[in-house]
Amino acid sequence: MSVTINESPIPQFSDIINAQSLLRSVVKQTPLERSKSFSAMSGADVYLKLENLQTTGSFKVRGAYYKIANLTTEEIAKGVLAASAGNHAQGVAYAATKLGVKSTVFMPVFAPPLKVIATRAYGAEVVLVGDTFDDAFEAAAEFGEKSGATFVHPFNDPYIIAGQGTVGLEIFEQLRDVDDVLVPIGGGGLIAGIAIALKQLNPRIRIIGVEADGAQSMKVSVEKGEPVILNSVHTIADGIAVKSPGNLTFQVTKDLVDELLVVNDAEMARTAYLLLQRAKILTEPAGVAAMAAVLYGKTDLKGRKVVPVISGGNINMSILEQILDKGVMAEGLRARIQVLIPDQAGMLKSIISILEKMKANIHDIEHERSTTSVPVGYVQVTITFNLQDSTQLPTLLMELDKKGMQYQVLR
Residues catalogued as catalytic:
60, 311
How many residues can be counted in the chain?
411
Contacts for 217 with CB less than 8 Å, ≥ 6 apart = 211, 228, 229, 230, 233, 242, 243, 244, 245
Contacts for 151 with CB less than 8 Å, ≥ 6 apart = 80, 81, 82, 140, 141, 144
Report whether 307 contacts 178 (CB < 8 A): yes
Beta bridge partners of 9: none
What whole-number distance in Å separates Cα of residue 94 and Cα of residue 162? 18
What whole-number distance in Å separates Cα of residue 314 and Cα of residue 59? 11
First to last CA, the chain: 40
Nearest to 350 by CA among 405, 279, 298: 405
